[in-house]
Structure 1
Amino acid sequence: MSTTSRELPPAVSAVDGERLVAPPGSARPGRRRLMKAGGFTPYGLLTPALIVLVVITGWPLLQLFIMSFQEFGRAQVFGAPPEFVGLGNYVAVLSDPEFWQVLWRSLGFAAACVIATMVFGILIALLMNRLGAVLRTLVSIGLLLAWAMPPLSATIVWGWIFDTQYGVLNDVLVNVFGLTQFEGHSWLIDPLSFFFVATIIIVWGAVPFVAFTVYAGLTQVPEEVLEAAQLDGAGAVKRFTLVIVPFIRPILIIVTILQVIWDLRVFTQIYALQSIGGLAEQTNTLGVYIYRVSLGSGDFGTGGAISVIVVLLLVALSIFYVRRSVKEETL
């Protein structure tokens, strides 16, 4: 044996000194996963975005969480030291019947909006999948215009349509269909009709997102599978439920969860309709209720406690969404 020879690491070739790929069983499982995922590069690329999220979102959430354990009113806004009350704000919120009324009202309203949005969005996506290029472009432009309109502007326009004296809807119902009971009818006084109007506004603005997303998924369904199902005698409904839905199920789940999160924290449309003519006490949802408790009565501590409860509810839904997304990615 030559005295100049030296031992090289197992992963280094003794011929030319080049590093060789270790056999599959030689690397540790954690190291193999790290090498497969691209090393530390993805984490380095995500670091700036994570820092921005922590500064913009994390710090306000921390301040909100601290405030929820304090008696924080208008005096504290102008410099008075807050008083620590522990779980007092949470006990006051959870023992308040009005909070539970608002919570169940918000859950029911969100459920109605999500169901209507998903149904109309899927139907429009199926229609777009069958239309030609010209008509599909026209439908897409219309959807984009509805999607691009700010929520406040859309609410004002719809408020004019449902206006008591000069609304187009009342005029059509009275003069075209002869329904004289809608002469000067107020759609926003009654809570049921108020939420009917609010549902139309929210669904009208949310359908384009669902339609575009589902349509993108429909374009990935193999035509051969659909043709085979049709040759086997499957009708349109069976082809949709047994062939199309399994292919786009991940998209439907993600879109549905996002709609639930967005509809639970809706604020602009409800507050604007209440300003036009709705009764706030009977039509408050979680977002508007937090705003009125915090800024209306100046009780920021109680408003912070309600906000934390809503955040925990949304985080639970978000965790389910993230886990579902990661599971679909690893399949």
Structure 2
Amino acid sequence: MSSTRLTHRAGTYGLLVPTILVLVVGMAYPLGRQLILSFQEFGRAQQFGQPAPFIGLDNYRELVTDRTMWAVISRSLAFCAVCASITMVLGTAFAVLMKAVSTVPRLTLQISMLLAWAMPVIAAMTAWQWLFDTRYGLVNWLLTKVGLSDFDDHNWLIEPLSFFFVAGVIVIWMSVPFVAFTAYAALSQVSEETLEASHLDGATAIQRFRHIIYPTIRPILTIVALLQIVWDLRVFAQINFLQNAGGTPSETHLLGTYIYSLGIGQNDYGAASAMAMFVLALTLVLTFRYVRSLLKEESR
């Protein structure tokens, strides 16, 4: 190997050093501290300054044999799968729509989604809480006006199924703009000449999307889907807000709120840390296929 290539490779790896240092400083200590906490037991004595004793894998054993934890995991995976799938479909559809319409409708749609995306979570949750309010909510009023008397003073948060319907609507509403904007940027890279040629050859819109557009934007959609899975799997603020607004925590906990209830609610930081490590491992398992596909695309 020539000295020029060695110098070039050394310079390339040298550029990675600052990034690696930032990652080590920003992530290694918190992750290592959390791992240590997962092997410790926290009780009343630790609240008065006593050191937490090491108990080995007891926290993990208790979690594995806890039916509540497996119910929370199943609930979280189902919620993540539904929300991420609908978000990706709607976001891609909006991106295609923005690409197809004229300037004024496109700008109107983009500004509307940008406002929804930029709205603070608490402000958005307050608005959604009013929409689904039992006595004064707009949703109940509209459903009652169209003849559905069962929705007069209906409580959307008391039942787990309707609770997660409301939570899913909110999470999807807040996530679609990111997918739409990213997919729209990817669509701008599709060759117009290729699309025009395929149209002249008689290809339908579905065929053009399937064989030309989708293969071009697939790497971007894969990254967005990966991020969406991670975000929806660890959703916290929306679920916690709705629980405080009238939901039943024991029946509506997802991974984020369950860890919070273990650590902050019960002061069991050891079990909470063990659960957090379990969620980290679960996230790596779920995203492994996507990461591997990204690596294959990069090698190509």
TM-score tier, shorter chain, comes to over 0.9
After superposition, the C-alpha distances for 1:189-216 in whole angstroms (9 at most, x for unaligned) are: 1111111100110011100110011111
> Are positions 1:324 and 2:293 aligned together?
yes
Q: Secondary structure at the match of 2:9?
A: coil
Q: Identify, as 1 or 2, the structure richer in helix.
A: 2
Instruction: Determine the C-alpha separation between the residues in 2 that align with 1:295 and 1:73.
Output: 12
Sort the Cα spacing of 1:58 and 1:273 in 2 relative to 1 into closer, same or farther, 3 A: same
Alignment-derived partner of residue 4 in structure 1: none
Whether contact under 8 Å (1:158, 1:201) holds in the other structure is yes
Match of 1:182 in 2: 151
Query: 1:139: Cα distance to partner?
Result: 1.4
Distance, in Å, in 1 between the alignment partners of 2:205 and 2:116 is 29
Task: Give the 3 Å change call, closer, same or farther, for CA 189–72 of structure 1 in structure 2.
Answer: same
Distance 2:238 2:6 in 1: 46
1:164 equivalent among 130, 134, 152: 134
Q: Which range moved further: 198-207 or 126-135?
A: 126-135
Match of 1:95 in 2: 65
Residue aligning to 1:134: 104
**Where do 1:239-250 residues align within 5 Å?**
239-250=208-219
Deviation (angstroms), 1:77: 4.5
* Alignment match of 2:10 (pick from 40, 43, 47): 40
Aligned equivalents of 2:31, 2:44: Cα separation in 1: 20
Pairwise CA distance, 1:318: 5.0
- TM-score for both structures, normalised by structure 1: 0.86
Taking only aligned residues, the RMSD between alpha carbons, in angstroms, comes to 1.8
Q: Could you tell me how far apart the structure 1 residues matched to 2:163 and 2:14 are? A: 49
Q: Distance in 1 between matches of 2:4 and 2:286?
A: 32
Shift of residue 49, structure 1, vs aligned partner: 3.1
Deviation at 1:79, TM superposition (A): 2.0
Instruction: Map 1:303-314 onto structure 2 (within 5 A).
Output: 303-314=272-283
Say whether the 8 Å CA contact 1:74–1:299 is kept in structure 2.
no
Structure number with larger C-alpha Rg: 1
Instruction: Indicate how the Cα distance of structure 1 residues 183 and 33 shifts in structure 2: closer, same or farther if over 3 A, else same.
Output: farther
Q: Which residue of 2 aligns with 1:61?
A: 31
Hey, what's the Cα distance between the residues in 2 that align with 1:122 and 1:49? 32
> CA deviation digits over 1:60-97, x for unaligned, max 9?
11010011011123532542121111111101001100
Counterpart secondary structure, 1:70: coil
User: For 1:189 and 1:277, how far apart are their aligned partners in 2?
Assistant: 7
SS in 2 for 1:71: coil
Structure 2 unaligned residues grouped into runs of 5+: none
Distance 1:215 1:135, change over 3 A: same
Determine the C-alpha separation between the residues in 2 that align with 1:321 and 1:42: 26
Moved more, 71-80 or 302-311: 71-80
Q: Which amino acid aligns with 2:164?
A: F
Deviations 1:251-291 (A, max 9, x none): 11111111001100000000000000111111100000000
Q: What is the rounded CA distance, in whole Å, between the counterparts of 2:115 and 2:216 in structure 1?
A: 29
Summarize the Cα distance change of 1:68–1:34 in structure 2 as closer, same or farther, 3 Å threshold: farther
User: TM-score normalised to the size of structure 2?
Assistant: 0.94
- Give me the whole-angstrom Cα distance separating, in 2, the residues matched to 1:99 and 1:54: 31
- The percent identity for this pair of structures is 50
Q: Does 2:222 correspond to 1:220?
A: no
Letter in 2 for 1:243: I
The corresponding residue for 1:275 is 244
When residues 233 and 74 of structure 1 are mapped into structure 2, their CA distance, relative to the original with a 3 A threshold, is farther
Determine if contact 1:73/1:301 at 8 Å carries over to the other structure: no
Contact 2:76 2:255 in 1 (8 A): yes
Deviation of 1:33 after TM superposition, in Å, equals 6.6
Shift of 1:99: 0.3
Structure 1 position 41, deviation (Å): 2.9
